[in-house]
Structure 1
Amino acid sequence: MATGPALSARQTARTALAIARAGVAVFPLAPGSTQPLEPAGVREATHDLAQVHEWWTRAPAANIGLPTGPGGFDVVDIDTYPGGSGFAAYRQLKDAGLLDGWAMKVATPNDGLHIYFPARPDGQRDRAWPHAGVDFRGEGGYVAAPPSAVLRDDGSVGGYTVLERREQGWGYVDAAAIAELLPAPARQSTDNHLAARVAGIAHRVRDADPGQRAALLSWATRTCLEMGADLAPVIEAAVDAGLDSRQINQTVAAATDRFQGAVDHTPAPVPAPVAATVGEVAGP
């Protein structure tokens, strides 16, 4: 019986096809990464079985990307980072009743949490509260779906795992209400939190294995762009890791193009509640 990466790759490919067969759009992410495998990224998301089969035949270890926003689902991302996490904010949001309509909860590789909700039809854009360790994935965004696996901050491999699913009681999440509950702190505090997160991201790039350096630089670029952070620390880390200037420039430019293109993307309509469907085929 096969074990390890080969078994994991087959499981991911089967799950991608099962999700698409259920009518939910998917697209491939680079193996071991949350960055798109194809240049168009989330804009190519589809539930066309022939296309999905072709992607995962060519790259059976590819992770699974799911578009967020109207017609699908919104996701609240509770993050962890050096020196802190978003779980204090999570408790605030939960106590305020802002997370009551969740459909699925997924454990993320760095001990964070993705909370899925049916997407509001009027659309809510991606936004982030770096000081609180909370991100919102809505229109124009995407998440990695179980059983995708990536490198943890400590260099080990961790996966996205379904923790809970609900069959009823779903409701929309209000990103504006989250913003009201998580007001921006004083500028200096915001800068300190953001600097800590960027330092952790740069550390991952600097310590990446040779085969993962470009993928991690691409991920780091998009993450910093989403937070509105300076790219200089991750570019410096890429130089320290041994990437040449040509590869760095190409990787950063491509990731920036994908980030900017994703803002204009509206996911194809899919059956609701998508989160419950994804959880069903991905398994607990």
Structure 2
Amino acid sequence: MEAALDYATRGLAVGPLRGKRPLVDGGYKAFSSDVDTVRRWWQRYPGANIGARPGRGIVVLDIDIRNGGHETWQLITASFAVPETMAFMTGSGGWHLWFTVPYLAPLRSELVHRGSGIDIKHGGAGYVVMAPSVHPETGGLYVPHTWTDIAPLPKGLLQHVFKPLPRPTTPGRVVVHADDAGAGLVRFVAELADGNRNNGLYWAARRALDSGLDIEAQLSDAARAVGLADAEIIRTLASARTAARGTLVGGAA
């Protein structure tokens, strides 16, 4: 109970587990950071393991060393440095690494590909077992390894964490019909030169949103056709949406 209450006071939504299974109605989606609720749960289930649902904008990489997770991690992080972040060792000898993400977009359920040995947990899809819980199969403890601020997700992992945007049916070529809504904006993006692609996509996306045009898919195809990576497209379109919402709510962006 003491550990669960500590997590709750830090704003983390937690709930009691039997092994790894939630004990409360509604499952992990009912987990709470309300201290009184958490206290009642552990009075009802004393000694229960602790589950936690990562907050909005946070992902947890669950590295399972028994299923190749360590080898996958070594392979994909070989070319860049991984910052120190909040980390726990699991009861099976694996790792839970916590990171913030730079924008909100659809996330994968597994890092890189199915069977990589690294699951991705986030608020909309899953939860993690927290220290000092006991692993139901190995009997090992979940223990804190690095208790520090949650670091931003390294850029080298963005393409492995976020789902790729749909590929155009004709890669490298975008067909724009003159009578299509937003045809001029799509054509503008499709003709962008290297060095101005991000800014151009952002401008076109803002113009489309301000005009009430739903052409993100077409703009994405055009941006990809001129060489922008999926991660850059997702980030730029998300920035445009955020700025457009700010204009509607608070006046000039």
Name the % identity.
27
Distance 1:68 1:120, change over 3 A: farther
Alpha-carbon spacing, 1:57–1:123, altered in 2? closer, same or farther (3 Å):
farther
**Residue 78 of structure 2 is aligned to residue 92 of structure 1:** no
| Residues in 2 aligned to 1:41 and 1:120: alpha-carbon distance in whole angstroms | 28
Count of aligned residue pairs for this structure pair: 158
Determine helix, strand or coil for the equivalent of 2:115.
helix
Q: Are 1:157 and 2:143 an aligned pair?
A: no
Task: Name the structure 2 match of 1:133.
Answer: 117
Rg larger in structure: 2
SS of the residue corresponding to residue 17 of structure 1 reads helix
Instruction: Identify the match of residue 172 of structure 1 among 153, 156, 160.
Output: 153
In the other structure, the counterpart of 1:49 is 35
Partners in 1 of 2:105 and 2:3 — Cα distance? 27
1:39 counterpart letter in structure 2: D
- SS of 1:150's equivalent in the other structure is coil
* Residue type at the aligned position of 2:76: L
Q: Deviations over 1:229-248 (max 9, x none)?
A: xxxxxxxxxxxxxxxxxxxx
1:234-273 matched pairs, under 5 angstroms: none
Structure 2 counterpart of 1:158, one-letter code: G
| Contact 1:69/1:124 (<8 A) preserved | no
Report deviation, 1:67: 0.8
CA contact (8 A) 2:86 2:149 kept: no
Contact 2:87 2:96 in 1 (8 A): yes
The letter for the 1-side match of 2:77 is K
TM-score (norm 2): 0.55
The answer to whether the 8 Å contact 2:86/2:146 transfers is yes
Work out the CA distance in 2 between the residues paired with 1:123 and 1:28: 29
Higher relative contact order (CA 8 A, sep 6+): 1
Shift of residue 17, structure 1, vs aligned partner: 0.8
Change in 2 beyond 3 A, CA 1:28/1:124: farther
Amino acid at match of 1:42: Y
**d(CA) in 2 for partners of 1:119, 1:46:** 22
State the SS of the aligned residue for 2:21: coil
The CA distance in 2 between the partners of 1:123 and 1:29, in whole Å, is 29
1:28 equivalent to 2:16? Answer yes
For residues 142-176 of structure 1, the C-alpha deviation after alignment (integer angstroms, 9 at most, x for no partner) is: 11111111223xxx4111111123448x2135665
- In structure 2, do the counterparts of structure 1 residues 40 and 23 end up closer, same or farther at CA, with 3 Å as the change threshold? same
Which 4+ residue blocks in structure 1 deviate beyond 3 angstroms?
123-126, 165-168, 173-176
Q: Give the counterpart of 1:58 among 44, 66, 76.
A: 44
Within the candidate set 64, 71, 87, 1:105 is matched to: 87
2:7 and 2:55 map into 1 onto residues whose CA distance is: 17
Shift of 1:119: 4.3
Q: Taking structure 1 as reference, are residues 68 and 167 closer, same or farther at Cα in structure 2, changes over 3 Å only?
A: closer
Q: Structure 2 unaligned runs (5+)?
A: 163-253
- Aligned equivalents of 1:126, 1:65: Cα separation in 2: 21
Q: Note the alpha carbon deviations across 1:217-237, whole angstroms, 9 max, x for none.
A: xxxxxxxxxxxxxxxxxxxxx
CA–CA distance in 2 between the matches of 1:114 and 1:131?
A: 17
Task: Pick closer, same or farther for the CA change 1:119–1:147 going to 2, 3 Å.
Answer: farther
How far has the Cα of 1:16 moved from its partner? 0.4
Asked if the contact 1:27–1:42 (Cα under 8 Å) also holds between the matched residues in 2, the reply is: yes
Q: Work out the CA distance in 1 between the residues paired with 2:25 and 2:119.
A: 24
TM-score normalized by the length of structure 1: 0.50
Q: What does residue 189 of structure 1 align with?
A: none
Describe how 1:204-219 pairs up with structure 2 within 5 A.
none
